[in-house]
Chain A
Amino acid sequence: MNFLPFTIYLSFAGALLTWIVGTRSAAMARWVALAFAVGGALIALFAAFNFMPAADGEPLTLARASWFSFAKYHLAVDGLSLVLVLLTGVAATAGVLFSWNVAHRTGDFFALFLVLIGGVYGVFLSADAFLFFVFYEIAIVPKYFLIAVWGSDSREYGAMKLVLYSFAGSALVMAGLVWAWAASGGGSFDLTAFIAQTRLLPAEVQTGAFALVFGGFAVLAGMFPFHTWAPTGHVAAPTGASMLLAGVVMKLGAYGCLRVALPAFPEGFANLQSVIAVLAVAGILYAGLAALVQNDFKFVIGYSSVSHMGFVLLGIAAATPLALCGAVLQMFSHGIVAGLLFAVVGRMVYERTHTRDLAELGTWHLARLMPFAAVVFVLAGLASIGAPGFSGFPAEFSILAGTWQHSPLWALLAAVGIPIAAAFTLRVVRAAFFGQPNSDASAGAPIERHLPEPVTLPEKVGAALLIGASVIVGICPGLLIDWIVPALASPLMQISTQGGVR
């Protein structure tokens, strides 16, 4: 159990080692990065097998040391963070596998990749708001370089937009935390103590601080109308980075909302609950409709991420235990599925065909040229729609059922998003993989297409890993629910569910 902090330390150490090794040999850098990513995943898996939720659901302290008078170095784990740490391990491993062909500055790429992963692990394990924030900001800068150096078209614009949105979000969080800290008398940022003080603040301070903190985190979670960084950034990013960005980094925002904003400011949450729900539903519908009309394969996936993250935010807004449980499940599910979709689009298809234009892809008839990619994408699409048997089904079902308990109207509106998701997913499957080659006479003689290289082993392993994770959780959601439910029953999280239901 106590090995979990080493996910953080190993990632940072691995980054340093990869960087040093990378100056000599690219191949070595790949293997070192893979070793450290797998190491982190194995530690998370080992911890998961031995995990026993505390009787009251309180987080189990992993490390605690005094640091500053106002903050402790305090790491802890409970069911919520364990689910996301596990997700990070899986996504990081898959991300390294799908980045196996990075040839330009390989060592630098994987070093930044591992710094990002280390920051993400740190956020999920932090039990101190200051430490949480430090890791949260550490994860921002590597994103810029990952996109700006290794990205595809309009990468510098996409990178800058993504990083400025993230940093603006974190600035709002910082302003809210500093305000709440000072208003509550300036004690400790240790989450338990911090929340015990801030929840007693007067309602107007809570509302203001909640708006800042939740708003800041929600920017990173892709909440409408602050979501525009997500499609642009994800499209510009290299495959491995977009898998992480959509898969894990967006979860940082949602996790921050759930772990810090809701328990710390219950009255503020109660005041703004309906605003969040409206924005979440708007995000689900708007991003879904936007995905329906994109001509760029990767933009479809980018908007679908925003739409699916809307479900997470809706679950958080409804704040019934069932909806929150669904939100956490959806974070896991979307992390896996979005990674898989981006892997197919970015690595398998784009790097071989060098086009993402759906009309042009239609002339390739990829289902015949790349049956493996087609099968993976269809499975990922099913998981994304929320088909039974995949992780998306229990997640979205619990969110909608839980939201119904709070407000049937929100649930009904959000449910419209599911057929929209089905529509854009099936449309893109048909357009990209099952297009009719040269059906129109104007194209002239049929173009013979040959793929430059077959699907490689790392891609197959990565795809199998992600599909496996989605199917396991889809068939046995109880694995994760058994961790999540006790954590939601803990006194800290009870504050938010009570605040919400009121």
Chain B
Amino acid sequence: MNHVWLLYFFPVEAALTFGVLAVLSVDLLLRRRGVSSERRAWVSTGIGIMALGAGGVLRILAQRSLTTLFTNNAPIRMPGVDGLMFVADDFSIRGTFIILGLSGLSLILARGGVRLRNTAEYVALVLSASAGFTLMTAANHLLAIFLSIELASLSLYILTAFNKRNPDSAEAGLKYFFYGSVAAAFLLFGFSLLHGSTGAMTLPAIADALAKGAFSHAFLLLPIALVMIFTGFAYKTAAAPFHLWAPDVYQGAPPACAALVASASKVAGFVLVARFLAWMPNWFPDSGKLSNHPHSELFFCWFWVMVVFIAASLLLGNLVALVQKNLRRLLAYSAIAHAGVLLLAVVSSGAADAGNDPVYVASAVGILRGGDVLLFYLIGYGLATAGAFGVVAVLDNNGGCREITDLAGLRQRSPLLAACLGVFVLSLAGIPPLAGFLSKFVVFLQAAKAALQNPEFRPLLWLVILAVVISAVALYYYLQILKAAFVTPAPTERDSPGIKKIQTPIPVALALVLTAIALIVLGIAPGILLP
């Protein structure tokens, strides 16, 4: 095993790392030649997008050419590890493509926002965060999970505080860092308990050890370990009641960075959580199926924790969003509410069947397999929320965008931005024919079916009904945004009569329009864009 093989095993991460180096060195060269900062910013963004694109292309090529080493579900075996450290299955590869796309989108959208001083560094950090995200989708080993989360998080902390001259940004970065560190501590503690009792590090090996009776001598340690781990995950995915960092970060971070935190980072986090939770039925099988399993009576300690997270996220996210005046905080609470639905998708995809291929169990919803229901929701949600933050970024650069009322008259100031924002917000609200509606509906179908097929999962049905009914509450705050943008007239200033038009850079406008079109197409005929 030669280290060059790593390039084959990690084509995406290799491309992103080379991208980081290229962005920084090209920027240095251009700066020496006295190229203007605006032009250097576009060059950096271009290189960043090329690196993300190259990662995607290499991912496809790696699948095609290295079939012997790297077939579709072939695991990567690392020397000295008791199993598979990273897996490259369909689930992680699809998640990787979604992450690359959303990271690229947030890079373009950053060009519409307030000009940052060192765009090259910003791009480099986005690329390294993306490398962390893609590793998160593939991590199958406790250490790999922890390290990939840390790689992503450290980049995000810096990105959040990137606008040094804005005290809000610095504050948000610090809060994010503190919360993230505490979450990491919880996660690590949980992992150490798990490893200490089972002696295993990879997820399948842990499941094996549990089936053979690990923890039976220290019965209470397992629930403690799981609660610690879930707490860490809930922090990372901004699920209530561990969501408190999210509003501050979304509010203070540069909007394009908030777009990254809300979209690509979410995708990585939920893919990781789904991979971890997919083993839960093997850890704690239904008492009916494997009654002799040592932990079948411990079913509650993961399932009910998740039920509480989902219900709390749905209720808290939607109800607190109702009273928000700040647009970015509102989007943050909407993200918390969506985290509830996403966790519902995760739990129900694992719940449908405790089969051999844990993530891709036969799904309840025909064409989409269990993991795909989650990914489809993540695409719809990620595109809509990244797009909304893209609009916020442009507005931020044109007179500021803090309160919802700052959107007043957006229809007159920029019909294009208003139309795009309308699509994004309606998709977040789950109105047909947009992707947000279809993905939400499919999650509900899957969860309801899982609930009615397995008596243990019956509470999921109540969560579905709660989620459906509370979506009517959610429409209120989404309509507040649309009301400001489409109904309220633009404020006319005393000294300058007439309405100040907003100029959107053409690439940003193009990206926003394409995102909106993608949401419409995905909502009507998802088969066109999804294989």
Contact surface of A with B, Cβ cutoff 8 Å:
68-70, 130, 133-134, 137-138, 140-141, 144-145, 148-149, 156, 160, 163-164, 167-168, 170-172, 174-175, 178-179, 181-183, 186
Pick from B117-125, B353-361, B431-439 the stretch touching chain A.
Answer: B431-439
Q: Known contacts A68-B367, A148-B487, A149-B486; is A182 also within 8 Å of B445 by CB?
A: yes
* From A68, A70, A145, A174, contact of B487 by CB (8 A): A145
A92 to B243, CA, bound (A): 48
Instruction: Give chain A nearest CB distance to B24 CB in angstroms.
Output: 46
Q: Output the nearest chain B residue to A170 by Cβ-Cβ distance.
A: B472
- The reply to whether B471 and A171 contact each other, CB–CB distance below 8 Å, is yes
Q: Output the nearest chain B residue to A105 by Cβ-Cβ distance.
A: B411
Point out the residues of chain A lying under 8 angstroms from B506, CB to CB: none
Q: Known contacts A69-B367, A175-B465, A186-B449; is A145 also within 8 Å of B486 by CB?
A: yes
- The reply to whether A178 and B476 contact each other, CB–CB distance below 8 Å, is no
- The reply to whether B366 and A181 contact each other, CB–CB distance below 8 Å, is no
CB-CB contacts of B226-252 with A at 8 A, as 1s and 0s?
Answer: 000000000000000000000000000
Instruction: Give chain B nearest CB distance to A269 CB in angstroms.
Output: 20
Point out the residues of chain B lying under 8 angstroms from A141, CB to CB: 426, 431
18 more contacts with CB within 8 A, not counting A163-B475, A164-B472, A171-B469, are A69-B366, A137-B431, A137-B432, A137-B437, A145-B482, A149-B487, A160-B479, A164-B476, A174-B441, A175-B468, A178-B441, A178-B464, A179-B464, A179-B465, A181-B448, A182-B448, A182-B451, A186-B445
A172 to B472, CA, bound (A): 9
B514 within 8 A of A: no
A130 to B366, CA, bound (A): 15
CB-CB contacts of B433-463 with A at 8 A, as 1s and 0s?
Answer: 1000100010011001101100000000100
- The reply to whether A174 and B366 contact each other, CB–CB distance below 8 Å, is no
B365 within 8 A of A: yes
A133 to B433, CA, bound (A): 11
Q: With a 10 A CB-CB cut-off, give which of A168, A172, A179, A182 has the most chain B CB atoms.
A: A182
* From B366, B432, B476, contact of A160 by CB (8 A): B476
Identify 21 residue pairs between A and B in the complex whose beta-carbon atoms are under 8 Å apart, listed by A's number.
A134-B432, A134-B433, A137-B437, A138-B433, A145-B482, A149-B486, A149-B487, A163-B475, A164-B475, A164-B476, A167-B471, A174-B468, A175-B465, A175-B469, A178-B445, A178-B464, A178-B468, A179-B464, A182-B364, A182-B452, A186-B449
A68 to B364, CA, bound (A): 13
Q: With a 10 A CB-CB cut-off, give which of A140, A148, A178 has the most chain B CB atoms.
A: A178
Count how many chain B residues have C-beta atoms less than 8 Å from C-beta atoms of the other chain: 30
B483 within 8 A of A: yes
A164 to B474, CA, bound (A): 10
Q: Output the nearest chain B residue to A187 by Cβ-Cβ distance.
A: B366
Point out the residues of chain A lying under 8 angstroms from B472, CB to CB: 164, 167-168, 170-171
Q: Output the nearest chain A residue to B445 by Cβ-Cβ distance.
A: A178
For chain B, residues 464 to 506, give those with C-beta under 8 angstroms from any C-beta of chain A: 464-465, 468-469, 471-472, 475-476, 479, 482-483, 486-487
Q: Known contacts A70-B445, A148-B487; is A175 also within 8 Å of B464 by CB?
A: yes
- The reply to whether B483 and A178 contact each other, CB–CB distance below 8 Å, is no
Point out the residues of chain A lying under 8 angstroms from B487, CB to CB: 145, 148-149, 156
Instruction: Give chain A nearest CB distance to B230 CB in angstroms.
Output: 26
Instruction: Give chain A nearest CB distance to B524 CB in angstroms.
Output: 9
Point out the residues of chain B lying under 8 angstroms from A167, CB to CB: 471-472, 475
Instruction: Give chain B nearest CB distance to A124 CB in angstroms.
Output: 17
- The reply to whether A68 and B366 contact each other, CB–CB distance below 8 Å, is yes
Point out the residues of chain B lying under 8 angstroms from A140, CB to CB: 431
Point out the residues of chain A lying under 8 angstroms from B437, CB to CB: 134, 137
Point out the residues of chain B lying under 8 angstroms from A183, CB to CB: 452
Point out the residues of chain B lying under 8 angstroms from A174, CB to CB: 441, 444, 468
A144 to B437, CA, bound (A): 18
Q: Output the nearest chain A residue to B486 by Cβ-Cβ distance.
A: A145
Point out the residues of chain A lying under 8 angstroms from B465, CB to CB: 175, 179
Point out the residues of chain A lying under 8 angstroms from B448, CB to CB: 178-179, 181-182
Instruction: Give chain A nearest CB distance to B108 CB in angstroms.
Output: 27
CB-CB contacts of B316-335 with A at 8 A, as 1s and 0s?
Answer: 00000000000000000000
What 3 pairs between A and B have smallest CB-CB spacing? A69-B366, A182-B448, A168-B472
Point out the residues of chain B lying under 8 angstroms from A179, CB to CB: 448, 461, 464-465
Point out the residues of chain A lying under 8 angstroms from B468, CB to CB: 171-172, 174-175, 178
Point out the residues of chain B lying under 8 angstroms from A133, CB to CB: 432
Point out the residues of chain A lying under 8 angstroms from B444, CB to CB: 174, 178
Instruction: Give chain B nearest CB distance to A304 CB in angstroms.
Output: 28
Point out the residues of chain A lying under 8 angstroms from B449, CB to CB: 181-182, 186
A140 to B430, CA, bound (A): 12
Point out the residues of chain A lying under 8 angstroms from B426, CB to CB: 141
A163 to B477, CA, bound (A): 12
Instruction: Give chain B nearest CB distance to A130 CB in angstroms.
Output: 8
Point out the residues of chain B lying under 8 angstroms from A149, CB to CB: 486-487
Point out the residues of chain A lying under 8 angstroms from B366, CB to CB: 68-70
Point out the residues of chain B lying under 8 angstroms from A178, CB to CB: 441, 444-445, 448, 464, 468
- The reply to whether A172 and B476 contact each other, CB–CB distance below 8 Å, is no
For chain B, residues 416 to 440, give those with C-beta under 8 angstroms from any C-beta of chain A: 426, 431-433, 437
Point out the residues of chain A lying under 8 angstroms from B479, CB to CB: 144, 160, 163
Point out the residues of chain B lying under 8 angstroms from A164, CB to CB: 472, 475-476
Point out the residues of chain A lying under 8 angstroms from B471, CB to CB: 167, 171
Instruction: Give chain B nearest CB distance to A483 CB in angstroms.
Output: 29
* From B365, B451, B476, B483, contact of A69 by CB (8 A): B365
Point out the residues of chain A lying under 8 angstroms from B441, CB to CB: 130, 174, 178
A137 to B523, CA, bound (A): 13
- The reply to whether B469 and A138 contact each other, CB–CB distance below 8 Å, is no
Instruction: Give chain B nearest CB distance to A409 CB in angstroms.
Output: 34
A130 to B444, CA, bound (A): 13
Q: Output the nearest chain B residue to A184 by Cβ-Cβ distance.
A: B452
A70 to B526, CA, bound (A): 14
Q: Known contacts A138-B432, A175-B469; is A186 also within 8 Å of B486 by CB?
A: no
A179 to B475, CA, bound (A): 22
Instruction: Give chain A nearest CB distance to B206 CB in angstroms.
Output: 32
- The reply to whether A156 and B475 contact each other, CB–CB distance below 8 Å, is no
A179 to B448, CA, bound (A): 6
A167 to B365, CA, bound (A): 25
A168 to B479, CA, bound (A): 14
A68 to B441, CA, bound (A): 12
A386 to B182, CA, bound (A): 72
Instruction: Give chain A nearest CB distance to B326 CB in angstroms.
Output: 20
A368 to B432, CA, bound (A): 49
